[in-house]
Amino acid sequence: MNPTANAAPARAARALHVLLAVLGAGALIPGLLLPSGAQQPAAGGKLPPFVQTLPGSVVKVRMMPVPGGTIAIRGRQATVKPFWIARTETPWEAFDAFTNSGPPSPAYDQTEFLPDAIARPSKSYILPDLGWGHNGYPAINVSFLSSQMFCRWLAAGTGRKYRLPTEAEWELACRGGVVGPWKLDKATLDRVAWHAGNSDGTAHPVGKKQPNRLGLHDMLGNPGEWATDLDGQPILCGPTFLDGPRAMTPSTRRRQTPKWQETDPQFPKSRWWLADGKFVGFRIACEP
C-alpha cells in the first residue's frame, strides 16, 4: 500500500520534504554527525516521511525516508533500496499496543509454536522496563523474536510492509549519508548519543538527543537495535548506553550470547524476553 494514499499525511509529508529541501538537512541540524574528513554524498531518495498510527491504539510512530545506496558490511557489498525507518527506537507504549492486542502466547510451549502476526509476548518473569521508566522510554530486554513479531503484527494490521531493518539498511540509516571513517568529538557525541559517559548505566527516553541528517534519533547509543544480517540471522546493531565513546560508531555489532538470558530463572528460558538484555531494543523499518 502506498502511504501517500492517505491525503492529510501526504500533504504534511510533502511540506516537510520541501522544507528539508529548502533548508538542506545539514542546515536543520548544523554540524551533526559529520565526522572530520567524511564525504557527503548527493541527496537521494524520494520517499516522503509519514506517520503510522498503531492498530487499536492512539500511539503514533513517525517513519522517515532513507535513500538507497550501496554499503560494505564486514567485507560484503550490499545494495539497499530506498525505505523508511522509524524516527526513534520503539517506545514501550508502542510495544504495549502490540502486547495488549490479544492474549499472550503460552510462555514455554516450545513445540506448538508458529510465529505469526498473532503470536504475542508471554507475561514476562522479569520486570522488562527495569523500573527505569515506561512511556517514552525504549522497549528493552526484548528478544529478536519479540521485535520481529511486533513488525508482523503491525504489517498485518496496516497492510504495509513493516519488518526489522537489514543490517545494511540499519548502517546506511545510521550513517545518514556519511561515508568513510567515523569520528565524533566528545561534545558532538554528548549531543547525539546516550553512552557510558553520560547515561548513568540506564536507557533514556527516546528522541531526546539530536537526530542525524535523516532525522533519526538515538541510532548511536541508548539501546542497541535488532536487525537481520546479510544471511538473515539476528544481529544487534549499533552501540549501546553501556558502550564507551570509542564504540560509538555505526559498525558496532553484537551477537546474542547465553549471558543475555542468564538470570532468567525459568527453563526453557523465555523466547520473548531477555532477562539480561537491558541494552537490547529495536526500531522498525518499512518497504515502499
Pick 79 or 111: Cβ nearer other proteins = 111
Least distance to other proteins, CB of residue 271, Å: 12
- Pick from 260, 250, 229, 239: nearest CA to 143: 260
Which amino acid would we find at residue 198?
A: N
Record the cell numbers describing residue 71, joined without a space: 554499503
Least distance to other proteins, CB of residue 126, Å: 7
C-alpha triplet 101, 9, 214: angle, nearest 5°:
90
Least distance to other proteins, CB of residue 53, Å: 19
Pick 136 or 288: Cβ nearer other proteins = 136
Pick 44 or 201: Cβ nearer other proteins = 201
Record the cell numbers describing residue 225, joined without a space: 537495535
Q: Residue 161: count other Cβ atoms within 10 Å of its Cβ.
A: 14
Pick 128 or 239: Cβ nearer other proteins = 128
Pick 52 or 99: Cβ nearer other proteins = 99
Distance CA 251, CA 238 (A): 6
**DSSP characters for 62-114?**
EEEEE--EEEEETTEEEEE--EEEESSPPBHHHHHHHHTTSPPPPSS--SS--
Pick 53 or 135: Cβ nearer other proteins = 135
Least distance to other proteins, CB of residue 246, Å: 19
- The torsion angles phi and psi of 237, rounded to 5 degrees, stand at -100, 140
- Pick from 148, 144, 107: nearest CA to 269: 107
Distance CA 67, CA 109 (A): 41
Distance CA 73, CA 206 (A): 27
Least distance to other proteins, CB of residue 190, Å: 22
Least distance to other proteins, CB of residue 201, Å: 8
Pick 166 or 261: Cβ nearer other proteins = 261
- Residues at the interface with other proteins (CB under 8 A): 93, 96, 99-100, 107-111, 123-127, 129-131, 133-135, 201, 262-269, 276
Least distance to other proteins, CB of residue 178, Å: 33
Record the cell numbers describing residue 261, joined without a space: 538470558
